[in-house]
Each structure stands twice: as C-alpha cells, then as structure tokens.
Amino acid sequence: MDVFQKAFDFKDADNVRAMGLYLYFRTIESGQDPVVSMNGRRVIMLGSNNYLGLTNHPEIKEAAVKALREYGTGTAGSRFLNGTLDIHVELEERLADFMKRDAALCFSTGFSVNLGVISSLIGRRDVVVLDNLDHACILDGARLSYGRVLKYAHNDMDALEERLRGVSDDNGSMIVVDGVFSMEGDVADLPKIVELKNRFGARLMVDDAHGIGVMGDNGRGTGEHFGLDDEVDIVMGTFSKSLAGVGGFVAGDRVVIDWIKHKARPLMFSAAPPPASVASVMKALEVMIREPERRDRLWEITKYMKREFTSLGFDTGESASPVIPLVVGEDVTSFVMTKRLQEEGVFVNPVVSPAVPPGRALIRTSYMATHTRDQLDRALEAIAKVGRELGVIA
C-alpha cells in the first residue's frame, strides 16, 4: 500500500472548502494589532494571543533591529554546539530572575519546550499524568517519552486522585497541566492539584503559555495567581503570546534544568533561537515589568467582554482569562459564524471537534490590552447580530 494513500484519501478540508467555509491559514497583511488588514479590508482582531499588545511596540522592534545588525539573521547551529550567544544566556538569567527560579532554558519554539522537557524527564519506569484537554505539545511530549501516560477528565480532581492512587510507589510520577487552557480559557484547579501532588509524592509541571504576562500580580502565571509559585516544580512559558516573539522557555531547579539542557533532543538538535527574536523577547519582558498597567487594562477588557457576552445570552463556559469562548453547538455553526463575522469586520477563530467535544463547537475570542472600547463595542454589535442570525442567541 502506498504510504501517501492516506493523503489522497483525505477529504475533510476539501469538503469544507467546497462549502465555502474553510477558515484556516487565513492571510493577514499587517501586524498583530487590534485592527488588522485582510484582503484590503480592516478587521477587528479578536483572535490573537498578543495579550499585552507588544508585538508592534517601538522599543521592542528597535531591540530586534539592533540585534539583527550586531549578530546577523541566524545562529547557524544548536545551543548545544555553536549556537549559544551571550544574549541567549542573558535572556535566561532575566527569565529565571523574573520567575523567581534557580535557572531557565530557552528553546526555539514553545511546542519544542514540552516535547523536550517531558520526554527527557519521563523514563521507562515513570508515569506522566495529563488533563485530557492539555495542549497537543504536552500530549506529544508524553508520547515521545518511554513512560506510561495516564489521562484524567478535564479539571476533574477526583479523576486525578484516582489516577495518582493507581501509580505504584516504585514509579516516579509527574502531573503536567495547562495553567490556562487555550481553547476555553478556563484555569487549572491548581490548589487541589498541588494538594494531590504532595499527598502522592508526584512532581508538577505547569504549561503557562497563556498565563505568563496575564495571570498573577506580576504576570508570573497561574502559580502566582493562586499564591502557589513554590509548589510548582517546573514552569513552561512561550514567547509568542505576551512576550511578542517566537520561542519558549522552561524554569525550575538548576539541577533539573541542567539535566534538560543535556537530554532534551528538541533543544540539542534544533537551531538556536535567532538573535532578533531573543532581543525582542528580552525587551518585551522589560516593558511588561515596567508597565503593569497593560495587564490591568487587559483584565478590564476581559471582564467587560465577559459581562457583555453573558448579558447577550452567550454561553462562555468556565472562562477565567482573556480567552473567552462562545459556545455555538455544531461544528458547521462555528464555521458559518466565523465566516459571517469576518464579513462583518471581526476576526475570530473557529474551534471544532476533536479540539472540543462533539456538539460543543466554539467561537474562540481573545483580547489585547491595546483594544479600544470603540473597537470592542463594534465587535460586540457584529457578534450579537450574527449570533441572532444563526440562532445561537435569542
């Protein structure tokens, strides 16, 4: 049988294209600002993870340009061999200091952080325990390990306890959980998870891709949000959300980070993050610390939109973050509503099964500190109009 046959047989995307509802890989012709250009039109962006609105900050862009002039366009090698620059080390030191950890380690992408960290720490006699709505990179990192993978129902602490109770004392175990779940915007029950990990002697890794910069008084993530920084053994974060770049990092105990540095294959065998990206992240971290009012503004916007959606009659699930879903039901409704909203001048993201359970398709909206009230109100007007048109709200 031809190994390509599965590709020839794949018709899902073609079927959606034939319906005129293919809404992936849409082309944006401008920066990730509150309003973007698409097909020559201006569209309000409610689908970006640029939470603090830093991707077009002039100081951050200038830092990238300066690094480009000084170091060139790339590193021409992995961190393990010739690719470590002094700015990589400086960024890691600043991240460790910000996160109040012994050490930090930068990877080329956030996805590769979880691939490398989980697969390097979970050995043949170990067990990794996952929330069944954990991000794909957590699932893939667990699959790449030689350990046993257990899953529990989303945010179900009784199910987590049952899983941990079934782990033998002869096996090491680690719980890996998203701090903020990326599709529905709900937050992990970290207090209960910490209580269980201590009771059963497990370790805890939190993926705070959507928490860094957003959650906690200083933006250190869900650990800080719950006052449990010291109880989280390893924190993972990305640069592609609040920190206005590309890449990711892990922070934790120095000995553990040193192990990951020498065992994580996605780090050892990938080119190091390019200088311009490293410099932009370093400057973004500086701006984030210097301007906490950005986070305050983001939460004002989040609370306003959540309140307005609820008053309109939308089901926003258990969202407790700047990711606010609108539950619309069937997959086709999500596609149709996304297309209609784009026609009305609002960019949102469709989320369909298997990313969510069948019958619980979403419109995923997310917010930036730089959105204006006028932009938000115009978006709300369009969303209300289309929601009524499709029978999602009365």
Domain ranges of the chain: 5-51+292-389, 58-290
Q: What is the structure's pLDDT at 94?
A: 98
Q: What is the structure's pLDDT at 78?
A: 96
Q: What is the structure's pLDDT at 287?
A: 98
**Average pLDDT taken over every residue of the chain:** 97
Q: What is the structure's pLDDT at 204?
A: 98
Q: What is the C-alpha to C-alpha distance for residues 38 and 33, in angstroms, rounded to an integer?
A: 12
Tens-digit pLDDT profile for residues 15-51 = 999 999 999 999 999 999 999 999 999 999 999 999 9
376 pLDDT above the threshold of 90:
yes
Which residues are the active-site residues? 182, 210, 241
**Count of C-beta atoms within a 10 Å radius of residue 89:** 13
Residue 91 Cα distances to 33, 87, 176, 220, 243, angstroms = 25, 6, 25, 16, 12
355 pLDDT above the threshold of 90:
no
305 pLDDT above the threshold of 90:
yes
Average pLDDT rounded to a whole number, residues 201-225: 98
Average pLDDT rounded to a whole number, residues 142-147: 96
Q: What is the structure's pLDDT at 30?
A: 96
Average pLDDT rounded to a whole number, residues 262-277: 97
Tens-digit pLDDT profile for residues 167-201 = 998 999 999 999 999 999 999 999 999 999 999 99
CATH class of 5-51+292-389: alpha beta
When computed from its CA atoms, the radius of gyration of the chain, rounded to whole angstroms, is 21
165 pLDDT above the threshold of 90:
yes
CATH class of 58-290: alpha beta
